[in-house]
Structure 1
Amino acid sequence: MSGAAVLIHGFGTSARLWDQVLPLLRGEVRTLDLPGFGDSPDDRYSVDGMADAVQERLAGLENFVLVGHSMGGKVAAVLAARRPAGLSGLLLIAPSPLSPEPMTAQDRQALKAAYGHPELLTEHYRQITQQPLSADGLAQLVSDGMRGSQAAWNAWPDSGSREDRATEAGRIEVPVSVLTSEDDPVISPQVVAHHLLPSFPRAALTRLGGSGHLLPLELPAEVAAFISEKQ
């Protein structure tokens, strides 16, 4: 398989999530800030709205794979179910499941409460990672958390993560590959087994260890190898 890679970041981050992965990839790569995150002024905060924004970035691509991390994995899968012309593969990295993500009410409230508070964001990112983040890497995450839209930030725990899109998995015709970490506290092995894989029973699953939820920052070489193998 040889084509472009379209990289879709996860909740609260931006296209900068992939900065350590990009130098390790070959061929054409496209990134974007999802609506309400990074520098995007877009206000399409629903899963479909975010998928629309990604689909607009596909113009001119004749052969490509969609690569989604976390929230971006759900967005990528919903877009793949639309069967866009030129799509050759779906790569999901610690992805939110197509079924409702099993977050407690307390976790949803804590996530919303972290918005706009650097100290709470710092604690949040430390809790969801295993590999130590550099000072610059942590500062970048907090910066992305601070510059996102509060409406977009709240839309995911309130709505997007609750959407049940599992039936759409049957419309995906391209090979699906999943990369997870056994030590991910967000998309845990239990979430993978009981909420993610039932939608993708034929997916090729790669399990790593030693990383939390932010694999593109924690294990960039392994993430790049995963993408390059399928690209």
Structure 2
Amino acid sequence: MTAFILPHQLVGDGPHKVIAVHGWFADRSAYAPLLADLDTGAFQYALVDLRGYGEAKDAVGSYTTAEGAADLIDLADRLGWERFSLVGHSMGGSVAQRVVALTPHRVRRLVGISPVPASGLPLPPEQAELFASAAHRPEHRRVIIDMTTGGVRPGAWLDRMVARSLACSDTKAFRAWLDSWTGDDFHARLADCQVPALAVTGALDPALSAGLMRQTWLASFARGELVDLPGAGHYAMDEAPLDLIRALEDFLRADDGAAETAPAAPGA
């Protein structure tokens, strides 16, 4: 029986390898607005579909950040990428941090785009009910997207984002992933982590804000940085694609051409 391999799309052929992980509301198509303007000579991106999404929509699993991290490490092995960087949006940011917690010696740099903290994101009861019911109620998905983009986006865009979410995700997996990214707390495993890590937030996002990243992301990563995009909310790939590319690729290429010393492997 063939082992499960995360479906993925390779973009570019550059020497700096990067795995990009989507969030709760999309599959790897979340990164489509960026593709035409990425530096494909410097980087090679592997855009993945987590279990329950996109080409992995029917894949069975536990739909947890731990499982997702193990799948990413396995994919890196299969691609022959001993060292790589990670980009993760929202829920995918939590999955990417799990990879760092498991194999810090393999990760060059980490970029979280409105990333869920490694401590999880517990929701107050009213919000928890809204998010849980979004698995079966498209109108609640729309409310969440509108709320996390400042309530200023056109209705047609909100409808398109909801339609994409419904088309690319399995309902059962969507609901299960919610329990994982809100409840998983592994921040202690990132204490004083030396992997360079950038958090990119959107000023219009009241939930995963720059303020929250100062309390969480910058507390976990000794070499942490923060960029807040004034014209974006939670979905910077759609809302401010060029500003996002500039922030993440400038950060990723900061050590290109320089001698690197990998963080020690756990137990080393």
Match of 1:92 among 104, 112, 119: 112
Total equivalences in the alignment: 231
Q: Does 1:206 align with 2:227?
A: yes
Q: Does 1:50 align with 2:98?
A: no
Consecutive unaligned residues of structure 2, counting only runs of 5 or more, are: 1-13, 254-268
Q: How does 1:30-179 map to 2 (within 5 A)?
A: 30-40=46-56, 41-42=58-59, 43-58=61-76, 59-83=79-103, 86-130=106-150, 132=153, 135=156, 138-170=159-191, 172-179=193-200
Q: Does 1:8 align with 2:21?
A: yes
Match of 1:226 among 236, 247, 257: 247
Q: Does 1:23 align with 2:36?
A: yes
Consecutive unaligned residues of structure 1, counting only runs of 5 or more, are: none
Residues 193, 222 of structure 2: 8 Å contact kept: no
Match of 1:186 among 203, 207, 210: 207
Query: 1:185, CA displacement in angstroms?
Result: 1.8
- What is the one-letter code of the residue matched to 2:71? A
Equivalent in the alignment of 1:216: 237
Residues 133, 218 of structure 1: 8 Å contact kept: no
- What is the one-letter code of the residue matched to 2:54? G
CA RMSD, Structure 1 to Structure 2 (Å): 2.4
Residues 63, 173 of structure 2: 8 Å contact kept: yes
Residues 200, 227 of structure 2: 8 Å contact kept: yes
Report which of the two structures shows the higher radius of gyration computed on alpha carbons. 2
Cα 1:2/1:86, change in 2 over 3 Å: farther
Query: 1:146, CA displacement in angstroms?
Result: 4.8
- What is the one-letter code of the residue matched to 2:85? V
Query: 1:50, CA displacement in angstroms?
Result: 1.0
Cα 1:102/1:197, change in 2 over 3 Å: farther
Larger deviation: 12-21 or 152-161?
Answer: 152-161
User: Normalising by structure 1, what TM-score?
Assistant: 0.88
Percent sequence identity over aligned pairs? 26
Give the distance between the partners of 1:178 and 1:157, measured in 2 at CA: 21
Give the distance between the partners of 1:95 and 1:117, measured in 2 at CA: 24
Give the distance between the partners of 2:124 and 2:158, measured in 1 at CA: 28
Secondary structure at 2:55 match in 1: coil
Secondary structure at 2:198 match in 1: strand
- What is the one-letter code of the residue matched to 2:66? D
Residues 11, 70 of structure 1: 8 Å contact kept: yes
- What is the one-letter code of the residue matched to 2:244? V
Q: Deviations over 1:103-150 (max 9, x none)?
A: 212112101112233333223222222463684674254332354223
